[in-house]
Structure 1
Amino acid sequence: MLVLFLLRQNPVQQAAAELFGVSQATVSRRWTALLPVVEKVLAGHVPDPAEVSAGRIVLVDGTLVTTWDWASEGTGLFSGKNRDTGFNLQVAATHAGDLPAVSAPVPGSRHDIHAWRQSTFPEAFAEREGIGDLGYTGSGLITPRRKPPGRKRSAGDKAANRSVRIFSAASPG
């Protein structure tokens, strides 16, 4: 139960130790010993992202999962956009709110398009339409249209952007 609690709630080990009435060292030992077992058991229950999203449009975005700055020099964890350290995770969701996939982490300094290309998402969602923000321009996802340098957006670009925004922000069902 301790390992599942750590996975679900992500507390610091000292807080988990106090809650479960054990030492932090015991929490660490249990985590190290049991996490591989839990991963092995759960691996058989992870659905295929392509199957879960079949016939649906997929909404994709990246998020920075913050981490403690162990040694920011040279780790690539510092995200200039977010002004914090962490890992970039790509998250795919259907309009109905299903979460078919979360990517493996890449350093937080990497842009969303890089994290997209490093993930399994391009192959997993190749057979369906996907929507992303401007960070996914050139990925094959439907993205808003950028404002041309030194010019105003055309009426067609504004209408296209409005459609993307409305669809990706609309509440399901």
Structure 2
Amino acid sequence: MGWNVTTGLDADQLDELVARVHQELVEDPDSPVMQGRLWALGLYKPVVPVLFLLRQNPVQQAAAELFGVSQAIVSRRWTALLPVVEEVLTGHVPDPSEVSAGRIVLVDGTLVTTWDWRSEGTRLFSGKHRDTGFNLQIAATPAGDLLAVSAPVAGSRHDMHAWHQSHFPEAFAEREGIGDLGYVGSGLITPRRKPPGQERSAGDKAGNRSVNTLRAAVERAIAHLKDCKTFATRYRGPLTRLPDIVKVVTALAFYKTGW
């Protein structure tokens, strides 16, 4: 059975990832994954549901029904193997300052929506998107290739704050960068605002068209990143785990493109 749609990886990529997870666990015999039934079933069956949960973002009960196990088993596999998957893919995440050398860097923010948890709702509410979630900063090349993804920042904070909270200002300090109007004052090239009570000049309009045409590439990069439905639909897990989820999804994105 093929798992390309289920996991987002082709057969060779999935085989290699499972082999790496196997090797990582063999080198750590005290890992709880090496104990009991989870290991006895082999690793293919445990790893695929973890990737399925990331890619499709179903409730765990749906994953349990699809894979013919209990929800408790799905939960245990998720908890035990997600950090292992992150560990074996860490090497695929490039240093943004190195891969951006000599390139124009495009930057934009996107909202990963979450449940409106009562204790966090106000902090997470994005007035721009009229929803609750976390702001991720995304950097890409003019060809639409992903360069970096920031750690999540509360959705109530605007792009400029998220930019300064990320590692992007240091990583791209010597690069020519382009952003939208949310980055005015950041040092990035941005469209020109409309002067109060006036119309934009013909030169400003032409310049803005050029900037926005270039910025379309980072929006494509975000769209590809959101092939992972955990980012595209409402994240339903514990909010404290979202930073780890972001790291895994980012690593998988680079892994799939051959970094």
Provide the TM-score with structure 2 as the length reference.
0.61
Which residues of structure 1 form unaligned runs of 5+? none
Question: Which aligned pairs between 1:134-149 and structure 2 lie closer than 5 A?
Answer: 134-149=181-196
CA drift at 1:32 = 1.1
Superposition deviation, residue 70 in structure 1:
2.0
Match for 2:137: what amino acid?
Q
**CA–CA separation in structure 2 for the residues paired with 1:10 and 1:127:** 38
Distance 1:73 1:127, change over 3 A: closer
The equivalent of 1:158 in structure 2 is: 205
Q: What amino acid maps onto 1:82 in structure 2?
A: H
Cα RMSD (Å): 1.9
Distance 1:48 1:9 in 2: 28
**Residues 25-104 of structure 1: pairs in structure 2 closer than 5 A:** 25-71=72-118, 76-104=123-151
Change (3 A) 1:73 1:52: closer
| Contact 1:55-1:128 at 8 Å conserved across structures | yes
Q: Which amino acid aligns with 1:43?
A: T
User: What is the CA-CA distance between 1:126 and the residue it aligns to?
Assistant: 1.4
User: Measured at CA, do residues 137 and 3 of structure 1 come closer, stay the same or move farther in structure 2, by a change above 3 Å?
Assistant: same
Shift of 1:42: 1.3
> Cα distance, 1:45 vs. partner?
2.0
- Which secondary structure does the structure 2 equivalent of 1:82 belong to? coil
1:85/1:8 CA distance change after superposition, 3 Å: same
Corresponding residue of 1:20? 67
Q: Is the 8 A contact 2:134 2:154 kept in 1?
A: yes
Amino acid at match of 2:184: T
Question: Judging changes above 3 Å, is the alpha-carbon distance between structure 1 residues 85 and 72 closer, same or farther for their aligned structure 2 residues?
Answer: farther
C-alpha deviation, 1:73, in angstroms:
5.1
Shift of 1:5: 2.1
Alignment-mate amino acid for residue 76 of structure 2: R
Q: Between the two structures, name the one with larger relative contact order (CA 8 Å, sep ≥ 6).
A: 2
- In the alignment, the residues of structure 2 paired with residue 33 and residue 131 of structure 1 have an alpha-carbon distance, to the nearest angstrom, of 40
CA distance in 2 between partners of 1:86 and 1:130 (Å): 26
**Matched residues, percent identical?**
85
Residues 33/75 of structure 1: CA separation in 2 closer, same or farther (3 Å cut) = farther
Stretches of structure 2 that go unaligned for 5 or more consecutive residues are 1-47, 221-259
Q: How many residues align structurally?
A: 171
Which structure is higher in helix share?
Answer: 2
Residues 29-48 of structure 1: per-residue CA shift (max 9 Å, x gap) = 11111111111111122111
Instruction: Answer 1 or 2: which has greater strand percent.
Output: 1
